[in-house]
Structure formats: structure tokens, C-alpha cells
Structure 1
Amino acid sequence: MAKVVLCIGTNLGNRRENIERAISAIEKYAGKIVKTTEITETAPFGVTRQPYFLNVGVLIETEHPPFLLLNILKKLEKKVGRYPTYRWGPRVIDIDILLYEMVKINTTKLTIPHPGLKARDFFQEAASLIEKGG
């Protein structure tokens, strides 16, 4: 079982319900939820003229290797209601893989650790879940 830190973000629709639906889907299809951060409201990153986000960090244990996990999470985003917009645009749900154990991946499809990890305070808070164990 691998320990993985995810970040869930949403700034469209019923944001709390979007997060609850995403967490439920992650638990059902992606892995066991070990620990979460508090839900935090954050300013948008990149494109700032849009609604604020609600974010939550989630530590999971999963049997899925990184690329399979990514595919599962992309399907879960669609299930929760995500539809294509534009880079850093508003979204119903976004599920990012921040850390996957000590794995490092750098491809066009997946980068671990997440490239925004150092630039975004909330990502750093979420990443600390792996250090806090669980």
C-alpha cells in the first residue's frame, strides 16, 4: 500500500457538496482515506478573476500505481461533474496528486511531486499530511 497525498479543489456550484462527493468517490474507487486537512478557502491561482476555491488535503493508502491512480481520479472528476474549461480556470472539482510516497515522475501526463507544491501554501499544508503519518 502506498501513501499518497491528494488535493481536492472546487470553486463552482455547491463547493462543500462537491468535496464530499469527491471524498466519497475516492474512498470507494481510489484508496482508503487515512487523514484529511480542514477544508480551507483559498484565492484562485493563475487566473485570479474567478470565485474563491474550497480545498482539502487528503492522505490515502492505495494499491494503485501512479498512472492508474491518475486515470481513476480523472474519471472521478467527471463523475462529480467536472467539465473542460481552461488552464487554471473555474471548476466543479479538481483532484491533484501532490505526493506519492517517495516516487518522482516527470512526464507530460503526470508530475510527482506536483509542480505547484512549493508555490502554493495550501499544497504545502496538505503535503504535511504524509509527515504526520496516519
Structure 2
Amino acid sequence: MALVDTQIATSDSKYAHERWRPVTAIRTGTIDPDPDWTPLHTTPAHPDYPSGHNTYAGAAQTVLSALAGPRTAPFALTSPTAPGVTRTYTTWRQLSDENVDARVFSGIHTRSADEAGITLGTNVARYVLRNTGRLLAPR
């Protein structure tokens, strides 16, 4: 429920703010534009702010922390896009922090969009957690 509500809040926010992505800012901006700059990943065709990946990260971190605590037994993740790289985590927050950095480093989001995404997802998840009984009550 928190993730579905987070998606709705993300879409509403993206089109309320309509902030351009780094590729547009860097290629056509007024400060030293670089028309040949290309991000590492394909840029989605919707506005930058807030980062959808990070709204999910903030919501997931909040729900997992509420249900299991903020720390976890160490677990490792790999990615097909980074062969041979293994990342190990002991808190849900570490995943969110790295997600923020990954979206900036790949060139598809501004840091402010990523940080706003974490905040939005966290706020939506807190609301859902506070109101779960009411939201799931039979009508």
C-alpha cells in the first residue's frame, strides 16, 4: 500500500514541479552548456523531481525499519550491470544512500530530486504505517 501511494505522490509531484533533468540542463543550460554530454543511462521521458526510484527507496526503508528494525543481518547484492561487484549492507538506509548516489552518478537525476524522493517516500510510508488500521478496515 505504501509503494502504490508513493507512486501516486511521485507522479503528482513530477508534473506539479516539472523540473528538467541533468541532460537538458547540461546540454542547453546558460552556464557552459555541453551539447554533446550524455548520461550513463537512458533518461526517462518524464520530469526529474522527485526521483521515483528514491521515493520507493524512502518508502521501503521506512516500512522495513518499522517492521524489522533499521539494522539487518549483513546481506549482499550483485547487479548484472556491474559484473563482479558485490555490495554488502547492514542497514536499510545504506541501500537508500547508495541509490541516491547511483541516480546522480548515472546522470539521470539531480541530487535535490533524489533527496526529495527519499523524503517523499518516507513521509508517505509514515502516513500509511500510522493509518494502516483505518486504511484496511472493512467499509
Instruction: Provide TM-score, normalisation by structure 2.
Output: 0.30
Higher strand share: 1
Larger Rg over CA atoms: 2
